[in-house]
Homo-oligomer: A and B are copies of this chain.
Amino acid sequence: MKSFLTLKSVDEVLTLLAGFPPLPGETLPLDAALQRYLARDVKASEDVPGFDRSTVDGYAVAARDVFGAQESSPALLRCVGDCPMGQIPDMRLGEGETARILTGGMLPKGADAVVMVEHSRPTGNGMVEIIRSLAPGEHVLRHDEDVACGQLAILAGRRLRAQELGLLAALGQTEVEVHRRPRVAIISTGDEIVPFETRPAPGEVRDVNVHTLAALCQGEGACIVARTLVRDDRERLTSNVATALEQADVVLVSGGSSAGMRDYTVEIFQSMPHSQLLVHGVAISPGKPFILARAGDACLMGLPGHVAGALLCAQVFVAAVLRRLQGAEAQIAPQVRATLSRPVASTQGRREYIRVRLQPSDHGWTAVPILGPSGLIAGMVQADALIVCPENSEGLYAGEEVNALLLR
């Protein structure tokens, strides 16, 4: 228990988590890669759009043919036809000639700009008046203007959103290499814990942590390879952790409720092959008894049994390691700026996370701290967001502006 005396800071723990190596890549069909993290930089293997393309409906022209054109002295051009969509136009514009073109159409040879249809006046007998001068390249998307062949299109570590999939599709990437999903094993411990499908006898409670932890991990892209409930028994927990390590990249142990079990967990983690205890106790509230160890490249975490503490440690530490294992670049936490409705006291020297409801107000949002014991599950459900009292603070004032981190 000695190490408990020197609590690590939240930032120190996050730095340690950044030391786990990213998982190897796997190749997926493009449409199966949503929200996954790119394993290597993607360079464009061709130009996009690949040809000079009109951005408006109108007339393809050589800009020099309409130089100085205006309402009162239009340029008169001969229309030699329509540019077909999806094909190379089979004409070449000579001096004084134009062709009709639609948005997305390929410019014919001899054209270097497009006049919007609003700035043209057909005069019959195949002639059209252009009433606006324009510069070469106007209303044209150049063949390599979106992406040029050889250009770095997306960097490794990027989370693939709809738009990244769109760019990869535009480049013809039918497959993409992403870091494989982290495999997570979840072990709940505690003599008072029963599976959620069991009606608890007096003194027993249902296992909540396995559900909240699994959901949080899945939301971060992990797959759950084992869910186990173990009594407060050192040997059984040891063998369960060893089995979990055979199949998982991350092993989460929540509970046990007894002080003795908490020490077991540290010793069991330390007894695993190639293991190293990294953290035993963090200056965080809730969640102080958090334990972190490494066994080879696998990550072992001991979370509080307390549902609020377990979920907070998962939001702060488990999410961080799952992103790290997937090689994720830094991300911006979804948040809103809010005004605190009432003062909040905090203990100096630890980072405190306070659950708040967000209520719309005249000037944006009001953050209303959720009262009552922090262990309540109902309070977790009421919370829209978390606000942070930093380590060097004794609390926050009513009316203070805070960043409320949205709980997704």
* Residue positions of A touching B, CB distance < 8 A: 30-31, 34-35, 48-51, 53, 55, 57, 84-89, 102-106, 141, 145-147, 153-154, 161-170, 172, 174, 190-193, 196-197, 199-216, 218-219, 232, 257-259, 305-307, 311, 314, 332, 334-337, 358, 365, 372-373, 375-378, 380-381, 383-384, 406-408
- For A259, the chain B residues whose CB sits under 8 A away are 57, 102
- A196 closest partner in B (C-beta): B169
- Bound-complex Cα distance A215 to B165 (A): 8
- A54 closest partner in B (C-beta): B257
- For A48, the chain B residues whose CB sits under 8 A away are 205, 377-378
Q: Which of A55, A103, A215, A216 has the most CB of B within 10 A?
A: A215
Indicate which residue in B165, B190, B406 contacts A332 across the interface (CB closer than 8 Å): B406
B311 and A166 contacting across the interface, CB-CB below 8 Å:
yes
- A384 closest partner in B (C-beta): B332
A102 and B257 contacting across the interface, CB-CB below 8 Å:
yes
Indicate which residue in B86, B197, B213, B311 contacts A193 across the interface (CB closer than 8 Å): B86
- A147 closest partner in B (C-beta): B378
B31 and A192 contacting across the interface, CB-CB below 8 Å:
no
Question: How near does chain B come to A402, taking the closest CB pair, in angstroms?
Answer: 11
A166 and B203 contacting across the interface, CB-CB below 8 Å:
no
Question: How near does chain B come to A133, taking the closest CB pair, in angstroms?
Answer: 20
- For A145, the chain B residues whose CB sits under 8 A away are 372-373, 376
Question: How near does chain B come to A72, taking the closest CB pair, in angstroms?
Answer: 26
- For A306, the chain B residues whose CB sits under 8 A away are 103
16 further contact pairs, Cβ within 8 A, besides A145-B376, A163-B407, A169-B208: A48-B205, A85-B192, A86-B191, A86-B193, A104-B192, A105-B192, A161-B215, A162-B211, A163-B383, A165-B215, A166-B212, A169-B207, A169-B211, A169-B212, A170-B205, A172-B196
- For A311, the chain B residues whose CB sits under 8 A away are 162-163, 166
Number of copies: 2
Known: A50-B205, A147-B377, A211-B166. A191 touches B335 (CB 8 A): no
- For A196, the chain B residues whose CB sits under 8 A away are 30, 169-170, 172, 174
- Bound-complex Cα distance A208 to B375 (A): 48
- Bound-complex Cα distance A294 to B174 (A): 34
Question: How near does chain B come to A395, taking the closest CB pair, in angstroms?
Answer: 22
Question: How near does chain B come to A259, taking the closest CB pair, in angstroms?
Answer: 6
A87 and B146 contacting across the interface, CB-CB below 8 Å:
no
- For A141, the chain B residues whose CB sits under 8 A away are 373, 375-376
- Bound-complex Cα distance A146 to B314 (A): 21
- Bound-complex Cα distance A204 to B170 (A): 11
- For A85, the chain B residues whose CB sits under 8 A away are 190-192, 203, 232, 257-258
- Bound-complex Cα distance A373 to B207 (A): 54
B376 and A146 contacting across the interface, CB-CB below 8 Å:
yes
A200 and B380 contacting across the interface, CB-CB below 8 Å:
no
A197 and B211 contacting across the interface, CB-CB below 8 Å:
no
Question: How near does chain B come to A316, taking the closest CB pair, in angstroms?
Answer: 13
- Bound-complex Cα distance A48 to B335 (A): 31
- For A383, the chain B residues whose CB sits under 8 A away are 163
B205 and A161 contacting across the interface, CB-CB below 8 Å:
no
- Bound-complex Cα distance A337 to B338 (A): 10
Known: A190-B85, A380-B167. A215 touches B162 (CB 8 A): yes
- A407 closest partner in B (C-beta): B161
Question: How near does chain B come to A251, taking the closest CB pair, in angstroms?
Answer: 19
